[in-house]
Amino acid sequence: MQIPGRTIFGLGAGVVLIATLAVLSVAYGSTFIAPGEVIRSLAASLGLGGSDTPLPIQRIVVDLRLPRAVLAIAVGAGLGVIGAMLQTVTRNDLADPFLFGLSSGAAAGAVSVITVLGDRFGVWTLPLAAFSGGMLAAIIVLLLTRRVHGQGPERLILAGLAVSFIFAALTNYLVFAGDQRAAHSILFWTLGGLGLARWDNLPLALVGFAAIMIFALLFHRRLDAFLAGESTAESLGIETHRMRSTVFIVCAFSTAIFVSSAGVIGFVGLMIPHVARMLAGPLHAGLVLTCAILGALLVLLSDLAARLILAPQELPIGIVTSSIGAFFVVWLLLRSKASS
């Protein structure tokens, strides 16, 4: 796996930015903690000094805010990579988990628990329901594409749109017919939020991130072959239909995990690959890593903005990312018009 030196330098700078934003993310909240105190608290938790830091501050930093920053990094990086892979195998610049019903299915699963089923499996009820909804959406999309003539990317997109609308309608029905007192919880799952991040549920998001990153890096050459067209990829011995289905399943798996951990955070998977291609080029060895860095930065920034815009009240992070995404799509349209 060869990555240009310029891209490696950019990745290193991105890691430094992520660390800086993570410290700021931990510093800001209902109570501001100076960045120096944050660093000392982290050092104390690792046994590297900082023992003079008050214990309550250490607990706020390490037990409450640090897991939130780590979750933002994992979810943002994972969604960025998912968007890049889906755009590659479908040859659609607007492809992201929203387009294929993955996010809608996961949100419907979570809302069904909030409004109808109730908390029957303890603290894991909501994550399990969201994960099941996302995987169910993926299975339905794959079954639809197999039932129709041909299995090209346009069939996958149309099936994904249909499933997305179906699960969105189901979610709206559950919201209308269910317990109206659960509106705040429903808002979290439909617009996203990182407030439920804890060390005990963080490994779930890390599994989703690891799955998508390992797959993307292992099969980056096969993904590169899609850039030259399906005919060229098949001439190189790649079964494009099987590869596309495999990518979709892995993306569905990680998306369902991310939604079960942080709700629906839109437009990250759509925006990040476009910016990453301008910085790292189209080849997936550097593109995947760049998407991970930029995705983590975007979600960290969006979460910080969501906590500061109406402080001390916290906005759902999906409002921030959707607002940025709307302007980004307008910019894409104007850019494509200028280039044509």
* Residue 121 pLDDT greater than 90, yes or no: no
Alpha-carbon span 104 to 137, nearest angstrom: 8
Q: What is the pLDDT of residue 35?
A: 86
Answer whether residue 152 is part of any domain: yes
- Residue 278's CATH number: 1.10.3470.10
Q: Which two tokens stand for residue 211?
A: 């799955």
For 176-205, write each residue's pLDDT tens digit: 776 666 666 777 777 888 888 889 889 999
Residue 78: burial class (beta carbons within 10 Å; 0-12, 13-18, 19+): buried
Closest alpha carbon to 204 in 26, 25, 70:
70
Q: What is the pLDDT of residue 337?
A: 65
Does the pTM surpass 0.85? The reply is yes
Alpha-carbon span 316 to 164, nearest angstrom: 21
Q: How far is CA 1 from CA 204, 218, 221, 281, in A?
A: 28, 9, 9, 15
Alpha-carbon span 89 to 91, nearest angstrom: 6
Name the H helices within the chain.
Answer: 5-27, 35-45, 55-59, 66-90, 102-112, 125-147, 153-177, 183-191, 202-218, 220-226, 230-235, 240-262, 268-280, 284-308, 317-339
Q: What DSSP state is assigned to residue 212?
A: H
Answer whether residue 40 is part of any domain: no
Closest alpha carbon to 144 in 130, 158, 134:
158
Q: What are phi and psi of 306, to 5 degrees?
A: -65, -30
Alpha-carbon span 189 to 271, nearest angstrom: 21
Q: Which of 49-53, 213-217, 253-257, 289-293 has the lowest mean pLDDT?
A: 49-53
Answer whether residue 59 is part of any domain: no
| Number of structural domains found in the chain | 1
Three-point CA angle 195, 30, 58, nearest 5°: 80
- Mean pLDDT score, 96-117: 81
Answer whether residue 41 is part of any domain: no
* Residue 150 pLDDT greater than 70, yes or no: no
Cis preceding linkage at 312, omega within 30: yes
Answer whether residue 257 is part of any domain: yes
Answer whether residue 112 is part of any domain: yes
Q: What is the pLDDT of residue 108?
A: 86
- Mean pLDDT score, 96-123: 78
Q: How far is CA 246 from CA 66, 109, 228, 258, 275, in A?
A: 34, 23, 19, 18, 25
Q: What percent of the chain is modeled with pLDDT above 90?
A: 32
Q: How far is CA 133 from CA 52, 95, 98, 171, in A?
A: 47, 20, 13, 11
* Residue 100 pLDDT greater than 70, yes or no: yes
DSSP-assigned letters across all residues of 220-244: HHHHHHHTT-HHHHHHTT--HHHHH
Q: What is the pLDDT of residue 119?
A: 66
pLDDT category of residue 148 using cuts at 50, 70 and 90: low
Sign of CA dihedral 140, 75, 83, 210: negative
Answer whether residue 19 is part of any domain: no
Q: Which two tokens stand for residue 150?
A: 């041909």
Domain hosting residue 144, numbered range: 67-309+316-339
Q: What is the pLDDT of residue 177?
A: 76
Q: Taking the CB of residue 303, how many other CB atoms lie within 10 A of it?
A: 30
* Residue 55 pLDDT greater than 90, yes or no: no
Answer whether residue 180 is part of any domain: yes
